[in-house]
Structure 1
């Protein structure tokens, strides 16, 4: 059944696992939202570092101006990273079991981030000739690329689904969690709770997304995105795992998505969108 909705919020996370930016409008690209997860922090061997093992990353802010990625930290001067592509060649980045490429942003950025996080790290960006594919096992013949996201370039969540989760948390005498815990790209309103899991398409004027996989959540959702603290260990993961909105066992919230069409379209808050099942959408 097709249902109407609207976009209530848009977020980008320029540096994987650092704080995001609440956007009034943002351009859709073939690899997700513009500037979303185009940089990653790695250890000296190129292995990605996230809030899973470094919760303090949540306290580092990000911004984009016309010439720079800007990273901020409490009681530190800002780090300005030019948007112009560095001259360094691409080298190894490992995200889970996936090997891809990243261009190193130099020693100044590495020193700043290492001091802020208390560990030796590097900052790398997606190269211009990025070839990191989204799971061919899941997408079949459709070829989609992503930057440094865990696996998919977009995450769609719904306000009603968060309300349902918070109602269940209240039943267990646990505090509510904000949407920021789930680090979505698009938040939609005016849907029943978990309607995103019953749909395979989300589309609007000039664009179409494939909602292709429920997002299984990890311990990042236990991290307070303002303080970097874990105040209620294991939550809301434990509560999510007890809910039955997804058939699989596990803690799920939101839908992973890829772009079917609409590269160059500007998405904006209050934009009307439609959720539809596969048989009412364009066949893959």
Structure 2
């Protein structure tokens, strides 16, 4: 079977639900519209499903002019895709300082009502300077929006199948790929081949697979309901699998763009892993 892209996913607002897309424009900072917005408290500290699982139940959509958020009760919030004309303000993600453009009081009120706490919605500024880990990338300069640390996450269908086989052996239910919130899912490769490769490549495309992704409690949250079905899983099972040297609950590879800025990625697109 020829390796190819099996599916593509974006998460416009950090920690909210994702959108499955059939194609996506690749930018130097990841897939277009991916994690370009973040919800913060009044001091700029980011919100995450790690502490607020309800975030998974806010569903985004993108049309030609708006980011649209839908609450479980059917209420909608519309945010213009055109950036607001405001000065950047503080955003703090895992102790790292960066900047965001505040989307205004209407968005803040809508989201504050949903979360029953005072929050703000901010987006990545045009001149984004948030740099991906220099200690990992060395002289290569890459930037990301409001993702945890890297602009892309690559997983594979075979790796999920291997995990689900291990879960089955432990009498646990299988998991969908949505638990791992990937951007690019590949098929046609051996299980965990993404950890043995350094490059995902295609025609005029090169992604550096630069760091295994150590997973957190978000993987325990049902991404449709916000519920936790089996506490601690799949983290406990991943830690028994040994597919990454050194141990830990790893699934997927963090990646940065080396070549391909401005190219459209699409489902069934042939790739290779080197």
Q: What band does the TM-score fall into relative to the shorter chain?
A: over 0.9
Counterpart of 1:275?
A: 273
Runs of at least 5 residues in structure 2 that lack an aligned partner in the other structure: none
User: Which of 19, 22, 33 is matched with 1:21 structurally?
Assistant: 19
Pairwise CA distance, 1:178 = 0.4
User: Which of 219, 238, 241 is matched with 1:240 structurally?
Assistant: 238
The DSSP-based 3-state class of the residue aligned with 1:40 is strand
TM-score, normalized by length of structure 2? 0.99
The within-5 A match list for 1:167-246 is 167-246=165-244
User: Which of 63, 79, 82 is matched with 2:80 structurally?
Assistant: 82
The within-5 A match list for 1:13-52 is 13-52=11-50
* Cα deviation digits, residues 89-109 of structure 1 (max 9, x gap): 101000002100001001111
Pairwise CA distance, 1:76 = 3.8
The DSSP-based 3-state class of the residue aligned with 1:272 is coil
Query: Which consecutive aligned stretches of 4+ in structure 1 deviate over 4 angstroms post-superposition?
Result: none
Distance 1:119 1:157 in 2: 34
The DSSP-based 3-state class of the residue aligned with 1:209 is strand
* Cα deviation digits, residues 203-249 of structure 1 (max 9, x gap): 11111000000000000000000100111110000000111100022
Runs of at least 5 residues in structure 1 that lack an aligned partner in the other structure: 277-284
Q: How many residues align?
A: 274
User: Which of 89, 92, 109 is matched with 1:91 structurally?
Assistant: 89
* Cα deviation digits, residues 43-99 of structure 1 (max 9, x gap): 111000010000000000001111100001111421000011101110100000210
Distance 2:247 2:4 in 1: 29
RMSD over equivalenced CA pairs, Å? 0.9
Counterpart of 1:281?
A: none
Distance 1:232 1:109 in 2: 34
TM-score, normalized by length of structure 1? 0.95
Pairwise CA distance, 1:267 = 0.1
